[in-house]
Amino acid sequence: MVRGAVVESAVRFGVLAGVTVVSISSVSPVELLVAAVAAAGGAFAARRLRLAAGVAPGGAQGAVRAAVLVPAGVVRGCGVLTSALVSGSRRAGFGRILLREGVGAGWAGVLLAASPDTCVVEIPEPGEVLVHELGPGPGPVDGVVADAEGAP
């Protein structure tokens, strides 16, 4: 139990500190200290919020494949959004995406929302995501995370 908490906090700390250090132009000792303190606070808060929400980490099946497809989804989404703006199309609508077995709703929602033509509205249950989409059909990330029966 304690080992899992330490690993989870260390991973969160590493990601947050890494993003902060990469985001600044020149790295000085003071900036590293600020990044470490901010990342430690963020990792602590993220773990406490996860525990308060009663959500267990997991469900990483397909995460790497979906993350690799995010740039393609962003390019497609920009095209769909531009097309909708130029043509005045009103094909937008709400949809329910049932997630495949082993796919975490949290990370899947973040990757789905990365596309400019998709907005994640709600995650009512761990295996389901409600979205508002402009696109004519499912995007690249949808194909990885969505159950074939639950595709929009």
Assign 69 a pLDDT band (cuts: 50, 70, 90). Answer: very high
Range 9-13, long-range pairs (CB < 8 A, 24+ positions)? 9/43, 9/44, 9/47, 10/43, 12/39, 12/42, 12/43, 12/46, 12/47, 13/39, 13/40, 13/42, 13/43
Residue in the block written with tokens 């995370």: 145
Q: What is the pLDDT of residues 112-132, one digit of tens each?
A: 999 998 999 988 888 889 999
pLDDT value for 149: 59
Average pLDDT over residues 55-63: 76
Q: Is the dihedral of CA 141, 146, 92, 94 positive or negative?
A: negative
How would you class 62 by CB atoms within 10 Å of its CB: exposed for 0-12, middle for 13-18, buried for 19 or more?
buried
Instruction: Report whether pLDDT(9) > 70.
Output: yes
Is the pTM for the entire model greater than 0.75? Answer: no
Residue type, 106: G
pLDDT value for 107: 85
In the numeric block, which tokens belong to residue 27?
Answer: 């790295």
Which strand ranges, in their side-by-side order, compose the sheet holding 128-133?
Answer: 93-98, 128-133, 118-125
pLDDT value for 150: 47
Assign 42 a pLDDT band (cuts: 50, 70, 90). Answer: very high
Q: Is the dihedral of CA 102, 134, 96, 128 positive or negative?
A: positive
Mean pLDDT of the residues in the chain: 86
In the numeric block, which tokens belong to residue 129?
Answer: 């995501």
